[in-house]
Every structure is written in structure tokens, then in C-alpha cells.
Structure 1
């Protein structure tokens, strides 16, 4: 069974896009009005939030879970590609922030001018960011969308960035002008950490890393009546979205119809345990029984 959660993903992305545009505009206005480099850098970070939402809307249209002639395994890796593009946007934002901070150190500009109302508006921005991050993460986990989870991590980094900027501007308000430039560097570091987190969580899916431990699949299959042996197990994909499982099977069946019934029972069991899955089972004669549960085991090296 294949689940298409793209309508739910698009709805969440549209809501967060509108909120991120509001946050971006407010930060840019306050940064321009006060002359704060850290606040302008934060606004640049928020530009990537909106760009990520637009990118997510595009990739969610492409990431259909249903197979076709050209993509017999579905199109869901477009979702992971979109998440990697988010990491690229974050990398660009990190570079721009560092470039601006170093430029300000070499060529100091006008001092930052800050009043009480600007600080209150930043608290509003912080509240919106917190809502977006937790809302998007909750919905991403619920529908199993990597693009939403990745974007929520990005927004979570935006929360810490805004907290840092707010703390720095309070210091500037107290007369410590150097804090504005100094805090631009940890802001850039947080952006980089967020980019690395998104990259690390999506690469395994793109390179077909093991989705389920072969020992767990073996244990589940051996519980099915009529199974003698299960080996050469492989899996890829993402649990909760779509998992592809392959195995070689030895059964007690004496005819094709009985063997087919056993394989259907295995497919139903794996479907119940691991969610949407496509299982390919190669039935073998009893003489092909093997102790090699998966690939690259010690048995295969012997």
C-alpha cells in the first residue's frame, strides 16, 4: 500500500510560507531601521525559510509515491533532493553572514540605533518562529515528510538565531555596540550546524542505505508458518513513507499455490510492522538454505 501525503504537505508549506514572509519582512525592516548587522543577517536567514517553503511546494508536486513507467519505484526521492537544496540554501546564508560580519569589522559603519518598540517587535518574531517550527515538525512527523522535518530544523535554528540577535541588541541598547558584529559569527555557526544536520539526515535515503536491520526482518519472517529459511535480505527507503524489501525464501510448500500463500502472509506481516512497503520474495528450493541473512556478513567472506 502506498500513501500520498502530498496535499497535507502542501497545506503546511503554504501556511508556513505566509508566516515566514511576515517574519522576513519584519526583520528586514527592523534591520534597515536600526542598522543592525546581526538583525540583517537574521533577515537573510529568514529569506531562506521562504525559499525553502517555495522549493518544498515544487518538490512535493514531483515527489509522487506512485510508480510509473519512467520511475517504477516512485518519485519520493525528490523530497530528499528538496531537503538537500535546503542545506545548500543554508550554506549560502552562512557565507553571506560571515562576509558581512568581516566587512563590518574592516569597515565600521553607522552605529546601531535601537528603541524599545523594536525589541518588542523582535519578541513577536520569536513567537512566530517558535510556532512555525513546532507546527511544521509535528505535521512532518505525522505525515512522514522529510521536506517538512528538514524545514522545521531550519526554522528551529532560526529561533536560536533570533534569541542570539535579541540578546545582542539588548546589549547594544545598553551601549555595547561591538556585540552586534560579534554575535554575527555564532549566528553563522548555527546556520552551518543546521545545514549539516539536514544533509546528514537525507544522504542515507539517497544512497539507498539500509532501512531496516536484516536481523529484524529475518525474525519477523521466521514467525510465519511454513517458512524454513530466509536469507540475502536487503531493504531501502524510509519507514513510514515507503520501504522496499528483498529476500530469498525457503518454504515447506510442495506447490506454487501454497508457496504463494506463505509469501502473501509475509508481505502482510511486514506491511503491518513497517508501514507502506513493497516486498520482493525469491522462493528457492530447500537445498538453497543459507545462513547468510544479509550481504557483507562473515559467512560471505568465508
Structure 2
């Protein structure tokens, strides 16, 4: 259990540090894009915003006691629902404005008049973007390494998003070089392409993050109870909960009462139950509470080292130990 807690805390620290550094990169891109009137850089900033939102969702899971205690009565917490709606509304507003400005740029170019938003590309701007690319790439590679060490799907997912962001920033950087050579339309075309890609990226992130947070039951409790009772030594199981997506990742927790003669091999019994559930329903993360008449409730956590819910071991709420 100590190792699981350490992985949980380390994953949370990595996500927290990644969020702040990504927000810093976002502020640099927005400032540079606004100052230079670069539509492509502003459009690429939307992808960095989406990545920041993905990291924030992963952190919200760790900071939501109601979710961990299973006391939520609706599909998602209000904070996530409001944050998602705000993100979609802002992206819609920003994308429409960027598309409108891009249309004005192209219309002005066809009439051979002064551009309404001339892009001021300079060597210092390219150097600044080079530093941003190097910083984001280092952050993404650190995330990939930490995801492997911590066996955290959430850290890995967000690191991959950062790597994609690096690729798009390099694309914008190449477009700036073209603008310096006189191909001003590259900035406009890249802006349109990145705006359309931002809608797809937003859907991909939301579709990956939010389903794992749904509070609906993934597997019927009676089915899980039947599987648990088939393992020798289990006399009773109760307070069974499951959530997630069957076939993709399911979080299971239950309280077990073992025959006194089997208390010495409680960890082995828990592993057998987890294996039986995994063989039937695919990837899971399981937490078992072994109930003893003599001692208070003892928490046993046996998780597949490569499968976790948003990279964070599910924790026992303190109210359990008080009951």
C-alpha cells in the first residue's frame, strides 16, 4: 500500500508541475502571437490550451474527495462539467474569430491591398519559438519517462499530447520561415488548418478523459460478488463498487470478509479475485478492504502495474475507517 501511495503522490506531483509549465508555455505563445499578429501561432495556442485542460482533468480526479468516496450522484462532477462547457465555448468563439480574420487576410490579398493583420516575423521571434519547442519537448520526454516509471496512463496520455503540441509548434516555426521569405499566405493557411485540427483534438481529449470519470456502475455488484465468493476463503463481500468502461479500464473496490484460517493469505486471495475479474472483463484496477472482527478495516491495494484510472491508484476515503 505504501508503494501505491508513493506512485499516487508522484503522479500527482508530475501532473501538477506539467500543468504549470504548460500554462507558462501557453502564456508565451499567446503573448508572442498577439504581439506579432500571427494567426497561426494564436491557432496553435489553442492546442496548448487543450493539452492544459487535459492535464487539469487528470488533477481534478486526485483532488475530488466526493469522487473518491463515491458520493457523486450525477455523471460528472459540476466542476468538470462547467470546465468542459467553458472550454468548448471559448474554443468555438476563438476558432470562429480566427477563421474570420483568416478570411479577411485572404480577401485583402486577392484585392492586392494592405493586409489587415500583417504578421511581424523576426529572427528573435523564431529564436523564442525555438526555446519554446525545446522546453515543451523536454517536458514531454520527462512525462514519457515518468509515465513508464510510475505506470501512469494519465501521465503518458498527457505527455503524448505535449509531443503533438511540439510537432505543431515546429510546423508554425517552419511557416514563419516561409513568411520571412515572402510567403505570407503560409501563416493564414496554417491558421485555418490548426483551427480545424483544434476541434478534433478537443473531442479526442474529452472523449478520453471524461468516460473514465463517469459514476455509473460498470459491472453489476452481484456479478462481482459471485466471482469473489468463488475464490476459496471468502465468506462474504459487500459495498461493491465499479466504474469505468468494460474492455478499456474498470475500477473495482469491495469489502471482503475472510474465514479466520485464511487471514494469513489475504493478499493472495485478493490477487486471485482481481485475476478472475480481469480474465472476464479485461483491464481493471482493484482495491480490496479486508474486514477483520479484531482489527479495524485494513486496506489492501493490488493493481495491475500497467493499468490505473487516470494514472492514480484509487484511494480509500477516510470515512470507511470510521465506520
Q: Output the TM-score relative to the length of structure 2.
A: 0.58
Deviation at 1:240, TM superposition (A): 8.4
Mapped pair 1:60 → 2:70: no
Q: Which has the higher contact order (CA 8 A, sep 6+)?
A: 2
Aligned to 1:243: 252
CA distance in 2, matches of 1:151, 1:90: 19
Deviation at 1:143, TM superposition (A): 5.3
Q: Deviations over 1:183-218 (max 9, x none)?
A: 11221233222222223323543265858xxxxxx9
Instruction: Using the TM superposition, name which of 42-51 and 126-135 deviates more.
Output: 42-51
Aligned to 1:253: none
Q: What SS does the corresponding residue of 2:183 show, helix, strand or coil?
A: coil
Mapped pair 1:139 → 2:146: yes
Deviation at 1:122, TM superposition (A): 0.9
Deviation at 1:96, TM superposition (A): 1.0
Q: Quickly say closer, same or farther: Cα 1:190–1:137, change in 2 above 3 A.
A: farther
CA distance in 2, matches of 1:60, 1:33: 37
Q: What SS does the corresponding residue of 1:197 show, helix, strand or coil?
A: helix
CA contact (8 A) 1:157 1:190 kept: no
Q: Output the TM-score relative to the length of structure 1.
A: 0.61
CA contact (8 A) 1:172 1:178 kept: yes
CA distance in 2, matches of 1:191, 1:154: 12
Mapped pair 1:105 → 2:103: yes
CA distance in 1, matches of 2:28, 2:14: 21
Instruction: Using the TM superposition, name which of 107-116 and 90-99 deviates more.
Output: 90-99
Q: Quickly say closer, same or farther: Cα 1:235–1:50, change in 2 above 3 A.
A: closer
Aligned to 2:13: 11
CA distance in 2, matches of 1:32, 1:65: 39
CA contact (8 A) 1:133 1:153 kept: yes
Deviation at 1:176, TM superposition (A): 0.8
Deviation at 1:123, TM superposition (A): 1.4
Q: Quickly say closer, same or farther: Cα 1:99–1:271, change in 2 above 3 A.
A: same
Deviation at 1:177, TM superposition (A): 0.8
CA distance in 2, matches of 1:271, 1:82: 30
CA distance in 1, matches of 2:15, 2:208: 20
Q: What SS does the corresponding residue of 1:277 show, helix, strand or coil?
A: strand
Of 259, 268, 271, the match for 2:271:
268
Of 172, 197, 200, the match for 2:204:
197
Mark the runs of 5 or more structure 1 residues left unpaired by the alignment: 212-217, 228-233, 247-255, 281-302
Q: Deviations over 1:96-124 (max 9, x none)?
A: 13422322322642321212222122111
CA contact (8 A) 2:121 2:180 kept: yes
Aligned to 1:251: none
Q: What SS does the corresponding residue of 1:113 show, helix, strand or coil?
A: coil
CA contact (8 A) 1:44 1:93 kept: yes
Aligned to 1:163: 170
Q: What SS does the corresponding residue of 1:276 show, helix, strand or coil?
A: strand
